[in-house]
Amino acid sequence: MASKQPRETAGSSAFMAFDFQVNVSMALVLDLFRQGKEFVALFDHHDDFVVFVGEGENSELSFYQVKSSSELTWTAKRLARRSPKGDLPKSIVGKAYYNIAQFGPKIRRASILSNRPLSATLATATKSDLHDGELSVADLCSADQDALMKSLEADFPDGFDKSHATLLTFERVPFDLESYRATVLGRIVTMLEELHPDFVAVSSPFYTALLAAAGECTGNKTKSGTVEELRKRVALDREAISRLIERVHSRSKNLVEWWSSVNDELAADGIKALQIQRIKNKCMAYVNSRRAGGRSAAKLSAAIRDAIGKAAVRDMGSVLEAVVALKVHGLSEPESELFDLQSAMIVELMEAMT
């Protein structure tokens, strides 16, 4: 099985395309949040990504069609290329224009986003060039525009308004097909670091939570009776991201964040560097065993938390003093584990206090 080429690879390609689409959409949501804007974002509803920016009747409505590609560049001809099968519209540019036909010229944009740039000639230029930023169809030379318009005429035989070409845009997004998840995670790291340096430690769980929230909003085609119903079922907004931030604020700090204070106390107590490192290793072993559901760690965790509830340790200024105070509550050393009672108590105490 390992040596033979699989017959069916469409599934993995489709998953990557969808995963790329969701991650690009998440990045746009994070950008809007960092800019302090009010927004309501819809995933895979009318288009790959749809977003209202602003509040009430003054909000701007944008549609985004996300296209991942391993080919070198996009061209007007590639965007105008028509599929031989399926319903109208059959071209990429036609599917983007469909949103203008449905919702009218008051929308902000109907955009095609891709990891690859557009090779085109601007109306103000004499030769073709690669373009990264957002570019309107109306900015292109007549030859490139003609290729797109002919495809739109075929996609919309009842006619379309050429003046709406200003609303059709193309934009390259800086997301490599091999590392787009890491790029989005990097943006989360930056955002959380701006809020507080300690929050960087939970960047990965925050990414997972945001991805899950986006997944819950994706692909629900049921019609909504009201805007509020639509918002609750298939949308992420500024309030939803703020709730994720609040969960970061209210969580217990992890070992990476609080270890420096324990390290300083151990050093001040005369414990040498190698011994401090051994204690840290045991603390990490305890955290890992507890996370993995180890029976001994789970049992010890429950016993220590019960002891913390009984002992007057919350007013103590020293974790070592608190460890001594806990020992009188009948706690016993675990057998045949990579951690010991002291390391387990340090972890439980620091999590309870932070």
Return the number of other C-beta atoms located less than 10 Å from residue 233's C-beta. 14
59 — pLDDT class (breaks 50, 70, 90): confident
Check pLDDT > 90 for residue 71: no
Average pLDDT over residues 24-44: 93
196 — pLDDT class (breaks 50, 70, 90): confident
Helix (H, G, I), strand (E, B) or coil at 65: strand
User: In terms of Cα–Cα distance, which of 234, 216, 214 is closest to 224?
Assistant: 234
Would you state the pLDDT for residue 339? 96
Would you state the pLDDT for residue 5? 61
pLDDT, tens digit, 9 for 90 and up, residues 39-50: 999 998 889 999
111 — pLDDT class (breaks 50, 70, 90): very high
Let me know: does 309 contact 324? Beta carbons within 8 Å. no
Most confident region among 99-108, 154-163, 279-288, 320-329 by mean pLDDT: 279-288
pLDDT, tens digit, 9 for 90 and up, residues 143-170: 999 999 999 999 999 888 888 989 999 9
Would you state the pLDDT for residue 228? 77
Check pLDDT > 90 for residue 64: yes
What is the C-alpha to C-alpha distance for residues 229 and 161, in angstroms, rounded to an integer? 33
Would you state the pLDDT for residue 22? 94
Q: Higher confidence at residue 205 or residue 271?
A: 271
Would you state the pLDDT for residue 250? 77
Q: Higher confidence at residue 95 or residue 229?
A: 95
pLDDT, tens digit, 9 for 90 and up, residues 265-307: 999 999 999 999 999 999 999 999 998 889 999 999 999 999 9
37 — pLDDT class (breaks 50, 70, 90): very high
Would you state the pLDDT for residue 320? 92
Q: Is the torsion defined by CA of 8, 12, 17, 21 positive or negative?
A: positive
3 — pLDDT class (breaks 50, 70, 90): low
Q: Is the torsion defined by CA of 239, 244, 250, 256 positive or negative?
A: negative
Would you state the pLDDT for residue 215? 87
CA 295 to chain centre: 34
What is the C-alpha to C-alpha distance for residues 65 and 169, in angstroms, rounded to an integer? 10
Dihedral angle, C-alpha 191, 193, 195, 198, nearest 10 °:
140
The amino acid occupying position 270 is: G
pTM: 0.76
Average pLDDT, the chain: 89
Helix (H, G, I), strand (E, B) or coil at 325: helix
Percent of the chain scoring above 70 in pLDDT = 95
Would you state the pLDDT for residue 329? 87
